[in-house]
Amino acid sequence: MDGIARRAAAEAATYRSPYDPEGWLHLANIYFEFCFNDLQVASAHKAIYLTNQGLDLKDKHIGQKVREAVGMRLSCPFNIVIVDELEHALTKGYKALLRGLLEMSAYWDGLKEAKRAFEIFPANQDILLLQRMMKNEFHMRTTAIQESNQLAEDIKHLSRIGRTFKRKYPWLEERLFIRSPAFLGEINTSFNSTNCEVRPLFVPQIDPNTSKPRRSYRLVTKTSKQHLAAHPFDTGTNVGPLGVFAKRSIHKDEVLLTDHNLTVVPVTPSKKLQHCDACHALLIPPFLRDGEVRRPPCCHNVAYCSIKCASAALNGYHKVLCGKDFKWLYKSAANKELDPSWQPGALLRILAIVVADLRATPSAKMHPLQHPLLARLTAGYESDPSQAKEQVWNYFSHVIAPTRILAQLGVDVFADPLWSAEVIHCIYWRIINNACRTSSCTVVDGKLEKVTLSGIGPGYIFFNHSCEASVEWMGAGSCEGAARIDAAAAAAGSATALGKRRRASEEREALDGEGEREGVKVGCNALLCLATRGIKKGEEVRISYLPPGKRQQLGRWFEGGKCICGACDGEGTS
Ligand SMILES: [Zn+2]
Ligand SMILES: [Zn+2]
Ligand SMILES: [Zn+2]
């Protein structure tokens, strides 16, 4: 039997009796053999968790299920035998975990776990050996980093992180990684722009008016070919890489996109009830009248700026978040236990949206990676899997935290194969590859202050990078954003047109009291994209992911650290 088939058989056996630690231990060993150490650690983590629950004889929930599963396998109902089996499984679980952490160079995590294991099994020679190896490696690395003259904070961080590879798991179905032409249509339906749309990057696009190929067709360069190899397309099922294109000619300072969303959230939780829980708009006067604030019937922890926001939250993500305490997650971020690239608020919101939507439509049998929010994102895998780049990894961020979040959101992380460790990792890479930071407004001591938000702009993410960008972006709800929107509106129409629009919107609001305001609210999380120069019809519009002078960091997104702009491609060929 080949590797993939053996893995599939072991996985199927595990899910037939998902509360039996034995299945997870077997999977951990297979992943060790195939060098998927991230999954080895995740499987060992599940085995250890289940074993500990099973050994707690008072646990009538998961613990009971574990004892039943083990009893069934052993054909023996007696706890004394089951406990013996579980203790044996616990040593195996720790050995698998420690071996995995060692392989991933996560020595700091490994030493912490070895200490824990040692308290339970003080005489175990294998654990002692693994602990010694881990100590040596950790010591060697710390010495090497200290000699490299880094800041104390960096030394601490670098000595503690592990490494993994960003790669596709070869057994996951291809359909989980493609965007179909129909889905592209869906993307454009919700793309909040009058002058731009999302189109495939590399398909020849014949403009029916001029019959000339669009700029995108002529943009095939050496680096773009690499990009294409990483995102293959075929006209029937997969549109390949996407970009944003001008539908008509656009002048400087025109608004290209106002990206309303539920997924760009404050980096540190905002003051309770001061902001709309969905769109982060300020809920206090004079920004919103008291009577306009919507409070949910379920709890007193959140409020909304409009019926639209309230219904998006209450029919969706808030259903799985209501009444749950995630202080531990924010605390872990403050303690730097959580990888700083993983924002706790955004992660929690994105997972809650997907979990709630999947639960609302069980008949659709949607895979989490096919949820419209996640399916639109690409992870930026290398075209050649053997060239997969090393990425920062730690046990808490990649295994403990997401498993615990999902369990709190009501997902059965043991029995539900849709939420396997590999799916969690795929989601992680997609979020990291697309997340942005922006700013908006909050009120501190009666004054407007800047606040940092982070997350996924569902339309914004389609802008590709160029070092010669034609688009700038900012928080629409920030003071600067609000001023720019007004200026753009004034430039677009005459002052009377603007006045008319305002009056019409005020009248409509006065009529039903619930009318959606034109534009954006102060403090909201929408991302605003504006043209920095005139743009021709059919041209691809691009933003810069990095401020000027930081081009050396392009390697985070592009093979060889070069984007597909003229400047980078010129460098590549010269
Ligand atoms: Zn709102
Ligand atoms: Zn609630
Ligand atoms: Zn470039």
pLDDT digits (tens, 9 = 90+) for 396-451: 999 999 999 999 999 999 999 999 999 999 999 999 889 999 999 999 988 889 99
Average pLDDT, the chain: 86
Q: Which 3 state secondary structure label does DSSP give 204? A: coil
For residue 488, the model assigns a pLDDT of 83
What is the mean predicted confidence (pLDDT) over 214-236?
Answer: 48
Query: Which whole number is the average pLDDT over 552-564?
Result: 75
Judge whether residue 211 has pLDDT over 80: no
Ligand 3 midpoint to CA 562 (Å) = 6
pLDDT above 90 for 207:
no
Ligand nearest to the CA of 310: 1
Angstrom distance (rounded) from CA 93 to CA 300: 42
Ligand nearest to the CA of 468: 3
* CA 566 – ligand 3 centroid, Å: 7
Instruction: Mean pLDDT check: name the lowest of 109-113, 291-295, 489-493, 523-527.
Output: 489-493
CB atoms near residue 509 (< 10 Å):
15
Ligand nearest to the CA of 281: 1
Model confidence at 454, pLDDT cuts 50, 70, 90, reads: very high
What are the structure tokens assigned to 77, written together?
């109902």
Q: What is the 283 CA–ligand 1 centroid distance (Å)?
A: 9
Confidence grade of residue 565 (pLDDT, cut at 50, 70, 90): confident
Are the CB atoms for 255 and 529 separated by under 8 Å? yes
Cis peptide before 286 (omega within 30 of 0): yes
Whole-number Å distance, alpha carbon 304 to ligand 1 midpoint, is 5
Domain boundaries of the chain, sorted by first residue: 3-160, 174-190+263-434, 200-261+457-574
**pLDDT value of position 158:** 85
CB-based contacts of 49: which residues, under 8 Å, 6+ apart?
403
Rounded to a whole number, what is the largest CA-CA distance in the chain?
Answer: 84
Residue among 51, 54, 62, 55 nearest 25 (CA): 51
Q: Which ligand is nearest to the CA of 477?
A: 1
pLDDT, residue 111, reads 96
Residues within 5 Å of ion ligand 2, judged at the Cβ atom:
298-299, 322
Task: Indicate which ligand has the atom closest to the C-alpha of 317.
Answer: 2
Distance 276 CA to ligand 2 centre (A): 13
Q: What is the mean pLDDT of residues 264-285?
A: 92
Q: What is the pLDDT of residues 124-163, one digit of tens each?
A: 999 999 999 999 999 999 888 888 877 887 888 888 899 9
Topology (CATH level 3) of domain 200-261+457-574: Beta-clip-like (2.170.270)
209 confidence band (pLDDT: 50, 70, 90): low
In the chain, what percentage of residues exceed pLDDT 90? Answer: 64
Higher pLDDT, 249 or 223: 249
* Whether residue 508 has pLDDT greater than 80: no
393: which strand partners?
162
Which tokens belong to 342? 């993983």
Confidence class for position 278, pLDDT limits 50, 70, 90: very high
- Is 3-160 a domain of CATH 1.25.40? yes
> Mind listing the pLDDT tens digit for each residue in 332-364?
888 888 887 778 899 999 999 999 999 998 887
Closest ligand (CA of 314) = 2
Q: Which ligand has the nearest atom to the CA of 275? A: 1
Q: Ligand 2 centre from 314 Cα, in Å?
A: 8
Which listed ligand is nearest to 565 at the C-alpha? 3
Q: 570 CA to middle of ligand 3, Å? A: 9
What is the CA(179)–ligand 3 centre distance, in A?
A: 25
Using alpha carbons only, what angle is made at residue 312 by residues 308 and 318, rounded to the nearest 5 degrees? 135
What phi and psi values does residue 112 have, to the nearest 5 degrees? -60, -45
- The predicted pLDDT at position 496 comes to 43
Tell me the mean pLDDT in the region 48-57. Answer: 97
61, amino acid identity: H
- Alpha-carbon span 537 to 195, nearest angstrom: 9
Q: In this structure, which ligand is nearest to the CA of 223?
A: 3
Ligand nearest to the CA of 567: 3
Choose the weakest-confidence range: 19-23, 333-337, 537-541: 333-337
Residue 74 has φ and ψ, to the nearest 5°, of -85, -5
| Contacts of residue 287, Cβ cutoff 8 Å, sequence gap at least 6 | 281, 521, 522, 523
Strand partners, 440: 451
Gap from CA of 237 to ligand 2 centroid (Å): 40
Q: Average pLDDT in the 177-193 region?
A: 93
- According to the model, what pLDDT value does residue 236 have? 64
- Give the closest ligand to the alpha carbon of residue 321: 2
8 A C-beta contact, residue 470 and residue 532: yes
Ligand closest to Cα of 466 equals 3
Between the CA of 216 and the centroid of ligand 3 the distance, in Å, is 16
As a whole number, mean pLDDT of residues 541-557 equals 79
* Least confidently predicted of 206-220, 257-271, 485-499: 206-220
485 contacts 260 by C-beta, under 8 angstroms: no
How far CA 193 is from CA of 15, 429, 464, 527, in Å, comes to: 45, 27, 16, 12
How would residue 321 be classed by pLDDT, with cut points 50, 70 and 90?
A: very high
Q: Does residue 385 carry a pLDDT above 70?
A: yes
Distance 19 CA to ligand 1 centre (A): 41
d(CA 125, CA 391): 32
Give the Å distance between the CA of 468 and the centre of ligand 3: 7
Nearest ligand for residue 322 CA: 2
- Position with higher pLDDT, 256 vs 386: 256
**Angle 526-531-532 (CA atoms, 0-180°, nearest 5)?**
120
* pLDDT band (50, 70, 90) for residue 232: low
